[in-house]
Amino acid sequence: MRWKRCYTPLALVVAALACEMAAIAALAPSSRRKVVFADDRFALDYQVFYDASVALRKGDNPYQSIRYVTPPTAALLNRPLALLPFGTAAWVAAAGTVLCLLLAQAAATTAFFSLRTREGWTVLGLGVAAMALSYPVYFLVYRGNIDAFVLAPMCVALLLSGTRGVVGGACLGLAAALKVYPALLAVPLAIQRRWRVLASAGVVVALFIAMTPGLWAGAVRRMLWRSSCFEMTENGSLACTFAFLGEAAGLPASRSVWRVLGLIAFGLLLGLSIWADSRRRLRHDEAAAWMYLPFMVAVPELSFHYSLVVALPLLPVVAHLWNRRGAKGLRLIVVGLVLAQVQAVALACLGGSGLPHAIPGVGLFLVLLGCTRWKLSGDSA
């Protein structure tokens, strides 16, 4: 097989993650602590969704559980699985998570490469290999949250937005009804004037609200409460990353100051990205739209590491842009993607320190910097 330039960034990511895993495997036997790749028990988060679905089926309020912090759509759509014993339902949900991650990667690859060619299948294969070595993927499958079920329809929505607007909008509406952050895609879609997609998404969200009208006020209150939560482990938000690095450097500032600085950095990078996209007025700049994915999980102040799976669809985007020499910001994105997928929990076990928990957040920050740098450079896809 002839090596193509577009394979290089993906091969670098896979090689770096594989070397990391090999190093962990070599050091684990001599560690004084048990080395694990994900904390907590299996399906800890899925238990919350399962209980919420059971409550909904019985006519009770799913927000009786303090840990249920997502819109009621998740509990509604999970009701069929709630008819099964919890153990069985948890394994079905885990399998569904893997399938959705594969679907998201396939959709992102298809947006820039043809799967009728060896090149397309090679890019997809390298992307799947990176997934297989990713700590956020392990964490998500093990924990049982729904981010993969949100990511898959988002990627399909971006894939179809230029050709089948109504279907693409329905997928985006489904994603936004499950978690709020996919609504950020309204920005690039509005810049690209894809009004049919946005209208279709709005209709789907309205339908889900109409199906559970009495629960959305509680959902908003719970999500606002969730946005104020904060902790220093397994948190990839910019607020946590800045706080972690500030404390590690011994800089004399309170944790709240670093959290505010993280939010300011997020707002600045997002604002520059939107300004660059609006200024270029590129209606068919597909790569620019995909680069909004990592921004979705940089805030609020508590964004668990498993949410960083949203960065993985950038792999085929970067591979596509790598074919053009001189595209600025792409190296930052590649380095950031590697760090965002680093096995933070395993490294924390090996080193006996909490500092590795900051690495995925640093990676996310580099990805945001790289995406913004590429947009400001004026390169177009």
Determine the pLDDT at residue 301: 79
Give, to the nearest 10 degrees, the angle between helix 314-322 and helix 7-27: 130
Per-residue confidence (pLDDT) for residue 306, from 0 to 100: 93
Q: How far apart are CA 137 and CA 308, in angstroms?
A: 8
Q: Quick check: 282 pLDDT over 70?
A: no
Decide: 367 and 333 in contact? Cβ < 8 Å.
yes
| Alpha carbons 243 and 254: distance in angstroms, whole number | 8
Residue labelled with tokens 């800045």: 242
More reliable by pLDDT, 229 or 206: 206
pLDDT of 203 = 97
Residue 257 has pLDDT above 60, yes or no: yes
The CA distance from 233 to 235, in Å, is 5
Rounded to whole angstroms, the Cα distance separating 60 from 79 reads 13
C-beta separation of 133 from 180 below 8 A: no
Dihedral sign for Cα atoms in the order 82, 87, 88, 92: positive
Write down the mean pLDDT value for the chain: 90
Burial of 355 (0-12, 13-18, 19+ CB in 10 A): middle
Residue 263 C-alpha from the chain's centroid: 18
Q: What is the mean pLDDT of residues 282-306?
A: 85
pLDDT tens readout for residues 212-227: 998 998 888 888 887 7
Give me 58's structure tokens.
């019985």
Query: For residue 364, what pLDDT band results from cuts at 50, 70 and 90?
Result: very high
% of the chain at pLDDT higher than 90 = 68
Instruction: From 331, 303, 254, select the one nearest 69 (Cα to Cα).
Output: 303
- The pLDDT assigned to 3 comes to 80
Residue 326 confidence (pLDDT) above 80? no
| Model confidence pLDDT, tens digit, residues 24-33 | 999 988 877 7
Q: How far apart are CA 101 and CA 315, in angstroms?
A: 13
User: Within the chain, where are the H helices?
Assistant: 7-27, 44-57, 72-77, 86-112, 118-132, 135-143, 147-160, 165-178, 186-191, 195-211, 216-227, 238-248, 255-280, 286-290, 314-322, 330-340, 344-351, 359-377
pLDDT for residue 324 is more than 90: no
Give the three-class secondary structure for 114.
Answer: coil
What is the distance between the alpha carbons of residues 187 and 193, in angstroms, rounded to a whole number?
10
Separation of alpha carbons 286 and 27, rounded Å = 42
pLDDT confidence band for 325 (50 / 70 / 90)? low
